[in-house]
Structure 1
Amino acid sequence: MKYYILLAFFALTFISCNQNNPKQAKQEDAKQIVKDALVYELINFYKTTPSCKTDSCEAYVKAVYPVFKVEALNKFITNIITTLPYNGQPTRNLNLAADSFINDYLRFKKEFPDSPAGYAWDQNFRIAYQDKDFINFAYQSYIYTGGAHGLETIQYFNISKKDYQIIQLKDIFDKDEKAQLNTIAEQIFRKQEGLKANDNLDSYFFDDQKFSLNENFIITNKGLEFLYNPYEIKAYAYGRTMLFIPYQDIKEIIKKDSILSKFKP
């Protein structure tokens, strides 16, 4: 009898110690993330005009991106980083894309030899987060082809590790729940922007002056973070607009058995 009492005592002590040791819990979480992480190699690409070897003159193309052992991911990344910024055509080869971009500058320079403007195409495709179910990317791109300023944008991608397809809002919210998500998001947006419930949105670039979420979001363990790039809903001078929606606010509308289910509070 004493043996069982002592066994129960030690079991409860062990559980209590683990529950009251957040540092140990974080270490275990970190170990799990490492265990679930996909192996990759980080590639640094740089190409410029023959007469220029620095970023500050003429034209250049830079890209930092991961290469995995998963071909589907590599194909997805390659398709994005090799799509030409001035015509939207994918080349599927970064060297060819860089040559095309630089040659476009050389044609421009030939036509306007006195122009001081250069060209820049700078890309950073980084891993934001991954666990056993999905991997998230943040793709940052800067384009300059003359004019007053360049344009820097960030695009988020959430990729399922089950089929390596992009996770869209329709995958985690049903149609009716997606409408509720938009309503909740608008309330957060208005509070963030200092707007009242009945204030119009005519100073923003929303279609028909009606608030709407885009598909540029990233899944975190606390909530969904949406991002609007310059010119998307505001003028360039205002920069990017971030909108964070905590799971606590949308726990009732997350699709059952979706990839977000494990994050529900």
Structure 2
Amino acid sequence: MNQQWLWAVSVSFAALVMTGCQERAAPQAEQAVTTKQEKAESIALIQAKVVPVKLSKPEACDADGCMQYDIQTVKTNLNWIDDYFIERIKKADPIAFSTAPNQKINTAEGANPNLSQSSTYVRFIGQQYDRATFAIQTYNYSSGAAHGMYHQEFVNFDLKNQKRLALQDIVVKGAEQQVLDALYDSNSLWLDQHSIEREKLKLSDNFYYGANGIVFVYPLYELASYAEGMTELTLPYVALTKLIKAEYLPSLPHYSTP
């Protein structure tokens, strides 16, 4: 009897120990917090530096002259972003990456060989949680021209979905005209000074997230003279709450009314 009693006690004690060791299911609230933290941690904090691009032809020549290339890109901690810019650069200036030998320059008497320049620089602008903005700056000077032509294109990335954001990706479907009207109204003084009527203004797909609103950028000569440079028109975030998809609007403070 004593042995049976001891055996029963031992089995009961072992069952209690095993029950106590089992992991309890986390409450739903705790699981929700963990999921949010995991999502936040999955968004990488971008680290970027500018690096030169190795070119097969830093100077490409034909019979008429030469084109000198200066190309720099960014090296980040996200390979897919680095690959995006390298592919863009190679498509824009394939000659700089060509392995074909240069042609001989025409040095005959009276010939005036041209020397032109082309530069491309990529730089990191900033990050707002799961959105990051970069800029591609280009400059081209053709020999004999009065001045060179420059351009700055802003590239916005959705880091969560690993894709570039076009304007059509962030605007609520069917709201393009409302965005355009709001943009004109917000910049009507400057547009009126430059004799730009409402019907002539178009939405630019070149944009970036500014401190107070989305900034639409226009090429040289489109809205103003060369001397005035590229035009930037800002549309305040407060005017975009129902026009831009919520996931692509920055978190804004809620001001209490007096």
TM-score tier, shorter chain, comes to 0.5 to 0.7
Matches within 5 A, 1:130-145: 130-145=127-142
Deviations 1:190-229 (A, max 9, x none): 3123349xx664xxxx9xx521111000013421111111
Q: How many residues align?
A: 206
Structure-2 change in CA distance of 1:49 and 1:77 (3 Å): closer
Normalising by structure 2, report the TM-score: 0.66
State whether residues 196 and 223 of structure 2, in contact with CA within 8 Å, keep that contact through their aligned partners in structure 1: no
Match for residue 191 of structure 1?
Answer: 189
Matches within 5 A, 1:207-226: 210-226=200-216
Unmatched 5+ residue regions in structure 1? 1-31, 51-56, 86-90
Matches within 5 A, 1:134-213: 134-146=131-143, 147-195=145-193, 201=197, 210-213=200-203
> How far apart, CA to CA, are the structure 1 residues paired with 2:208 and 2:107?
43
2:46 is matched by which residue type in structure 1? L
1:123 is matched by which residue type in structure 2? T
2:249 is matched by which residue type in structure 1? L
| TM-fit CA distance, 1:136 | 0.4
> 102, 110, 130: which is aligned to 2:106?
110
Structure-2 change in CA distance of 1:192 and 1:111 (3 Å): farther
Normalising by structure 1, report the TM-score: 0.64
Match for residue 68 of structure 2?
Answer: 60
Specify the SS of the correspondent of 1:43: strand
> How far apart, CA to CA, are the structure 2 residues paired with 1:264 and 1:70?
31
Specify the SS of the correspondent of 2:201: coil
Residue identity (%): 20
2:154 is matched by which residue type in structure 1? Y
Matched, 1:74 2:76: no
State whether residues 48 and 124 of structure 2, in contact with CA within 8 Å, keep that contact through their aligned partners in structure 1: no
| TM-fit CA distance, 1:142 | 0.3
Say which one has the larger Rg: 2
> How far apart, CA to CA, are the structure 2 residues paired with 1:115 and 1:180?
54
> Could you say what the CA RMSD is over the residues aligned between the two structures, in angstroms?
3.5
Matches within 5 A, 1:232-243: 232-243=222-233
Match for residue 27 of structure 1?
Answer: none
> How far apart, CA to CA, are the structure 2 residues paired with 1:49 and 1:170?
38
Matched, 1:229 2:219: yes
> How far apart, CA to CA, are the structure 2 residues paired with 1:253 and 1:45?
39
Unmatched 5+ residue regions in structure 2? 1-39
> How far apart, CA to CA, are the structure 2 residues paired with 1:210 and 1:164?
34
> How far apart, CA to CA, are the structure 2 residues paired with 1:68 and 1:169?
24
